[in-house]
Structure 1
Amino acid sequence: MHTEAVTIALFDQAPKAFIGDLLVYLVEEEIPHLAEENRILNRALQQVWETGDFKGAKEQAVLLYPALLEAGEDGALAARRVLFVGLGKQDDAINVRREQLRLAGGIVAKQAAAVKARDVLLVLPKDYLLDAVEIAECCVEGMLLGNYRFDFYKNPKEDKDKPARVEHFFLHDGGLSQSAVRKGLERGRALAEATCAARDMANQPGNGWTPAEFAEYAKKLSKRTRLKCKVLDKGAMHKLGMGGILGVNQGSALPPQLVILEYRTNKKHPTLLLVGKGLTFDSGGLCAKPPAGMEDMKYDMCGGAAVLAAMQAIAEIGLEGVNVVALIPATENLSGSAALKPGDVIRHFGGKTSEIINTDAEGRLILADALAYGIETYQPEAVIDLATLTGAVIIGLGHHYTGLLTNNDQLAAQLIEAGAQVAEPLWRLPLGPEYRKQIDSRVADIKNAGSDRSAGTITAACYLQEFVGETPWAHLDIAGTAWDFTEKSYIPKGPSGTGVRTLVACLSQWKPLKTAEKK
């Protein structure tokens, strides 16, 4: 969906031979020299260090022009500009070191955009305390994610002040194993491109990304990867009794879609189920949202986008040891003449009935059908759902942590670790019978909202828990992090693509759940 292609490749000549726009070196705080034995560059670094203008601090950068530097025995540099980017102080925490590289990569992209550099070469730091694969992967993630723009609907103009997107990134191994660097480059590229795809989906307006677009993207993905795609239409949903998806869809002129993607390795391997909320626009239904800010409700499909994009990355990277099935229930929630009314009762897949208290609590209705159907059909070892489900999670956690609710401690631990690795932190919230009582109904099995607004994120998860039975399950409420996530050099304002890299990290290092702890 990007309007311009961005490439990244290895550069196998000496860095001084690079004739592009920007040659970049990463520098750790308190280490005023480069691993590369280039007297021109080391002398220049020493000079800016002594002035105090650059000390290698986190996200610090200084730009130099080789034409103004005195050439020495090593010969002149061919690049038009040289950029030193600070990594900050050495840290013992491996996740901190990973994030230092991503942040530095984001700074590279921003500095390149500011000077309208089209071709950029980054020399990897040889002595950095990470293995070569991860050094390359994290740098690539930072640069490609930091280079992201969404200008699909912009008319191209000659705007001299507008930052430009880098067209070609290059990596130099800096003395690291080239095969390891290549592996990290490819993994980082797959993860970054998938995350940018999720951002693109979310940035599309409600009339540009509909349930049909979810289905079409999945079908195209299946044609160019090993994924298998199936789409359940409105007729199939009626036969299956998916009253949640159908009920939410009643007020829309566009039919719903239940998109199913399968990634298969071996029957002996565990099957993991991913479910993503694909609400392509949410007006609130008859319980209408206030007009101010309603345009952001095109983002209510970010859970579905994250799951779809994660499957794209999984297929490209080629995960081993697991089978993965993804379900994306997609519809709009509008207030057409047939829309759900407060007080209506619907029947979900499997027969459970629900009283509709609030038509704006619709995400749990479509997820409930997908969860129940997915678990019955695919018998997964565990299931993870992602959804921009509640505004309450933003009140509780702001835009810095994703809310995690689960019935399994092992699953919680794996997700929290995965989120920490990719700098998408999770915070676990409680579940329990005290909260479950808040969704008791006098006329149906359950109701779709509590009697008051207390513990809104938890009661929403309690609703979903009704449809997972004993299967280990985790719910990620990304309402606060799917857009306006903590702004960083590689995370822009607006949609962040959060969840994609967390899911891939979790499934890449999946540890089978102990049967005794499956609840």
Structure 2
Amino acid sequence: MATAEFKLYENIFIETSIQASDYDGVILILYPEESNVPKPRLIASYIHKITIVDKHVEKTPTVWNCDYVTGGRLVISPTGKITPYNDVGVVKEAARKGVERALDAGMKKPLLIVQNAVDFPDGQLVCILGALEALYQPLQMRERNISKHFFKIGLHAEENESESFEKVVRNAIALENSRILTRDIAGGDPERMSPENIVSYIRNAFSGNNFVTINVIDDDKVIQEEFPLLAAVSRAANQIDRHKPKIVELLYKPSDLTRVTETIMLVGKGVTYDTGGANIKTGDFMTGMSRDKSGAAAVAGFVKACSLLKPVHLKVVGVLCLCRNSIGEDSYVPDELIISKSGKSVRVTNTDAEGRFAMADALFKVSEIASKELNPHIYTIATLTGHAYRSYGNYTAAMDNHSARATNHASRIQFSGSRVGEGVEVSIIRPEDLTVNEGKIKGDDLVQIDMNTKTRHHQLAAGFLIKVANLEDKNVKYTHLDIAGAAGILPLTDPTAVPVLSLCHVHKVLL
């Protein structure tokens, strides 16, 4: 695997002066005057003069000759007007665009000024993450040995060394390295990140890490017996070894289990390519379906963050449900009746609703284990429904079952998302979202999806998962995260690695 990891004092440095040597330019995030964010002492008057000369500097990133900073070049990247409706995402975007502008100008060793905006408590962290996001190169580019965009990046916050700022930097590096893993898996093409290749990537990514153990289930008979719904989805793909399904179980345990206060259990949809199966996707709707593994990628990314930041209070179980929804003579088709691992019979109604099948049996297995764990909270993470995107655009839809809703957990995730620049919308699972999944004829416990229902598709998908996993009456916290609109849509946007940051924030993974 072509590494792209960031390491403090190797390719990321903390600097106490904007005139530090060996940089070829400086990047400044320009906040609006009313924000009262002080500008660095050496260039405050210079910036003031520029804003008088050209107001356009407050709208788009620009490059200026400046003798007061290292490298003699200054990139000014504005946040634009910050309203009461904005969150820290405006800082992330300004940092990302500022670094991109610096790279376009030919800089390979930029120095980023990381100021503390009082309105955004995690503004410095998010600013650094936005900058590092701009430096990401996809795995397949790295493997082709395409030259790096940069040699190093400096981070300047104040003129004296600070332990608190170093902690922010260390958090940012761990989080970004985790997001690199997530983007690599989510963004890899269907062959580079086939189930077989994802397993190899995961093994390499966690090699030598004593806090994470890996178990891979790939025996055909075991998958058929233990994960029958996923096995149905994968039937047409089983003719090709590299496309055969895999279940990857990741377990993070801190060194002292007596300090654990919560067990996080995550199940991720890892459909490496979704043709729609027998209900084949028409028009241009098949393009981008290699991103249907973004949920599994996020699960791996969260476990990676835990392995790097080593939270002592968490035990984490992550399950990646890897399969491919192919077309062929052995495709599963509508009208089939399949018995799930929970014992419920499920009538296939649309093979393009494969994501809930891919996760269902793993979710049931996790729900059975949860009763033996300390303070468990179960998640499913998936690019599950186009309806989530149509409802909320590029934001994650978060849905709690009755137990999680009692603690307002989805609202807590929404708050955490606003702190780290990941937008989350809270959606409510209502009684009809469960009952609509019930079978319509004798012998059917559930239908894969009620094709006559035209609304609430992302909620009823969560309802299906609750019912098929026997979570309806269990007193265990469960939250479903539909990231269909938030994960990044190919070919328009890069993979975003959501909701890794939100999960790390809400579960206090950071140092």
TM-score, length of structure 2 as denominator length: 0.86
Alignment correspondent of 1:144: 132
Which amino acid is 2:129 matched to?
A: E
Q: How big is each residue's C-alpha offset from its partner over 1:428-464, in whole Å with a ceiling of 9 and x where there is no partner?
A: 3332332333222213211101031422222211110
Give the Cα separation in 2 of the matches to 1:297 and 1:143.
28
Q: Which residue of 1 aligns with 2:51?
A: 49
Deviations along 1:360-382, whole A, 9 cap, x unmatched?
Answer: 11111121111001121343521
Verify the 8 A CA contact 2:338 2:345 in the aligned structure 1. yes
CA deviations 1:200-219 (Å, max 9, x no partner) are 22222111111122322332
Q: Which residue of 2 aligns with 1:515?
A: none
For the residues of structure 2 that align with 1:200 and 1:186, how far apart are their CA atoms? Answer: 21
Kept in 2, the 8 Å contact 1:484–1:496? The answer is: no
Q: Which residue in the other structure is 2:325 paired with?
A: 333
For 1:45-82, what per-residue CA distance to the aligned partner results, in whole angstroms no more than 9, with x for missing partners?
Answer: 23212224366x4x64332213xx5xxxxxx6541312
Instruction: Describe the superposition over 1:2-38 as per-residue Cα deviations: whole angstroms up to 9, x where unpaired.
Output: 6766664234453223332111233332279965432
Equivalent of 2:171 in 180, 187, 193: 187
Give 1:464's aligned amino acid.
Answer: L
Question: Equivalent pairs: percent with the same residue?
Answer: 21
Residues 176 and 392 (structure 1), Cα distance of their counterparts in 2 relative to 1, 3 Å cut = farther
Q: Hey, what does 2:94 align to over in structure 1?
A: 104
Are residue 484 (structure 1) and residue 495 (structure 2) matched? no
Q: 1:99 Cα deviation (Å)?
A: 2.8
CA-CA distance at 1:247 after TM superposition: 1.1
The secondary structure found in structure 2 opposite 1:276 is strand
Instruction: String of CA shifts for 1:220-262, please: whole Å, max 9, x gaps.
Output: 2332322111111234634753211111111113321111111
**Does structure 1 conserve the Cα–Cα contact (< 8 Å) formed by 2:212 and 2:250?**
yes
Q: TM-score, normalised by structure 1?
A: 0.85
Q: What is the one-letter code of the residue matched to 2:418?
A: A
Mapping of residues 449-464 of structure 1, within 5 Å: 449-454=449-454, 455-464=456-465
Alignment of 1:344-493 (within 5 A): 344-379=336-371, 380=373, 381-397=376-392, 399-407=393-401, 408-409=404-405, 410=407, 411-441=409-439, 442=441, 443-454=443-454, 455-466=456-467, 467=469, 468-469=471-472, 470=474, 471-484=476-489, 493=493
1:263 maps to what in 2? 252
- Look up the SS of the partner of 2:436 in the other structure: helix
Q: Distance in 1 between matches of 2:220 and 2:145?
A: 43
Q: What secondary structure sits across from 2:199 in the alignment?
A: helix
- 1:342–1:356: 8 Å Cα contact kept in structure 2? yes
Q: Partner of 1:516 in structure 2?
A: none
Is the counterpart of residue 175 in structure 1 residue 163 in structure 2? Answer: no
Kindly provide the amino acid, as one letter, of the partner of residue 251 in structure 1.
A
1:166 Cα deviation from its structure 2 partner: 3.0
Rounded Cα–Cα distance in structure 2 between residues aligned with 1:473 and 1:126:
36
> Separation in 2 of the partners of 1:2 and 1:506?
31
SS at match of 1:113: helix
8 Å contact kept, 2:96–2:133? yes
- SS of structure 2 residue aligned to 1:465: helix
Q: Does 1:278 align with 2:263?
A: no
The CA distance in 2 between the partners of 1:235 and 1:49, in whole Å, is 66
SS at match of 1:231: strand
Deviation at residue 405 of structure 1 after TM alignment: 2.0
What is the one-letter code of the residue matched to 1:316? L
The DSSP-based 3-state class of the residue aligned with 2:304 is helix
Q: Does 1:241 align with 2:226?
A: yes
Deviations 1:121-173 (A, max 9, x none): 12332675556xx4442221010112233372597789xxxxx8233111123
In structure 2, distance between residues paired with 1:295 and 1:311: 29
Aligned counterpart for 1:303 among listed residues 277, 284, 295: 295
Asked whether the equivalents of residues 10 and 182 of structure 1 are also in contact (C-alpha less than 8 Å), the reply is: no
User: SS of 2:507's equivalent?
Assistant: helix
* Residue of structure 2 in register with 1:25 after alignment: 28
Q: Give the C-alpha shift of residue 101 in structure 1.
A: 2.8
Q: Report the CA distance between 1:264 and its aligned residue.
A: 1.4
Between the aligned partners of 2:351 and 2:116, the Cα distance in structure 1 is 56
The letter for the 1-side match of 2:97 is: I
The alpha-carbon deviation at position 423 of structure 1 amounts to: 2.4
For residue 319 of structure 2, what is the amino acid of its counterpart?
L
For the 8 Å contact 2:117–2:123, the answer to whether it is kept is: no
Closer, same or farther: CA 249–288 of 1 in aligned 2, 3 Å: same
State the distance in 2 between where 1:121 and 1:424 align: 25
Say if 1:422 and 1:12 are closer, same or farther in 2 by CA, change over 3 A: closer
Count of aligned pairs between the two proteins: 483
CA distance 1:465–1:18, change in 2 (3 Å): same
- CA–CA separation in structure 2 for the residues paired with 1:415 and 1:319: 18
| Contact in 2 for aligned 1:333/1:362 (Cα 8 Å) | yes
Partner of residue 513, structure 1: none
Q: Matches of 2:71 and 2:312 in 1, distance apart?
A: 41
Change (3 A) 1:34 1:316: same
Would you say the 8 A contact 2:37–2:116 is kept in 1? no
**Structure 2: gaps of 5 or more residues:** none
SS of the equivalent of 2:461 reads: helix
- Residue type at the aligned position of 2:477: P
